[in-house]
Structure 1
């Protein structure tokens, strides 16, 4: 095995220090302001963006803490996956932080697609406003009528008719589609059923206001709609667009999807690790401060073992994610397939384990606590988003067994 190098560049250390301070001094103190602006006024709609978000974005942009996820120095901060990973972990400590630095999903993945595969016209129309933080976006891939864990099941169509592409189908879990700033979606559909199974699909840029795009409903995650972004079920009813809206041309949907998912999974997993660190802090603070049966909770039952197991699990998950980031930087997506799938199983499960322990030690307060409830929902949903655990385990097993066939 090649020598693995997890060291961060000097530039990355500076960014990490600045991001940590910004989150500690400006983002976390404004979480309550955000919630108050979102829900506090009787005439306030939850599908309107709290003003504090744009204020914080402006401050982050002024400091150059902006588009940190993009290794492309023209548009981003010039950090590779290893350098961005600890930054993503820091942003995972606050639900507000990723958006403040213009580093929130699904915009990050959509921007990477457009940087890598977009035409000059597509970049001008959609990428630049996205990177300026003026608009947001969504990603429409999974469908309610088929098992989308196998993407070749996809029923929605993107058929080329002359100089147009016509979209039909129903998608759901389109993240961010409730946001009033969501200006476009990337839609994936079948273009040619007779082609090779990985050359049948295309990705298409769809303006939110295109005729035939209909939001059927916003979907709850454990009862929460996730305002003001949310997840939508959307009907695409004979949506006609110029053929130039197809990204990189017909039939390249799977190729683009593979390119999109590698870095995106690093981001998700490192944010999950940051969230797990936050949950472990909450657990330890409670264990030290709370007394029952004449003792601090840390000295009762198996709580010390639980804390130790959480510490070890988080550190293992971080090391595995850094390995995936290193492989992605040095060997590309196909050199990192095992690790990318492995972290996508490990990191959300570790987050779920740590949050569960934090809830337990808080007792009845734990299930009422907004932060812990949010983190538990995030952890559980992440075990399905971007492919369920089972699909990623199958990939790891297939590549491992391939060594013996």
Structure 2
């Protein structure tokens, strides 16, 4: 069973609303701890509880009521400190492809799901421009049913979000093949844009369906795969495909979609993933409706303290900034980012780690006044 007191939500809700409104004088610091000794991949993302939640969600033979009981049991050994709280959303990234008819394969060892076209083939741009959200698909119906059942079962203990749909161009690349799509950007510009705008329209349909399945009176707030809390619906937008294209191509092919996404969704954060995405930051920050940027330096890249220009640009643009702290050894990056940014305001640190390091996380929560 989940070990979390619902009474904690009032302060977490209030503090997050202040943060969204740029009125919180401290950083948001979430700490979620689990037993890493049994983690499949040696880190939080391979932890048993995340693996079990994924398996329960995708076990199509398991009734949704039983699946949610399994999800509840999976949370039994998880601790939530500071601004952290339990969440549910349909994983993993790119699930919109599954709702458009792609097949899926769950990898229980890695704790993830892969989406692919039937026969492992690829769709043409014309097919991608015509593909429609298929509400009759078992995966779609199960996802909606799980979203509703989680609310019924947990009675306000768990924050609920929409699935991790994935970015428009990431889903398009999954449908049509990334290498082919790169060539098509140069040779089939109009066809690419038509297909991308159609994926965007299908995203909006799914977004509306899932937010419609969430009753704001039965949850402590909205969340998503970036586990912030909001009284208004929010979403983390992304375009990981952009790491392979120029700034000019990004502006031409994606910026109009990003601008519309930010106008459509009440609150938005942009997922800036890795050094090859940094060249697009200046354009991203020009979108008035965008609330913030999530910076991920990426595996093998310099540490979070080695990107001062990113934090300074985000701060200068008046946007919020969120980063991940993936172990107790990375806690020092909180100090670095605060110092570079010039203030602890408008920052959110989502921390994960091992329960054996709880004291080290508690020290940082106390240091920054997170109760």
TM-score using structure 1 length = 0.27
Q: Which gives a bigger RCO, structure 1 or 2 (Cα 8 Å, sep 6+)?
A: 2
Q: Which has the larger radius of gyration?
A: 1
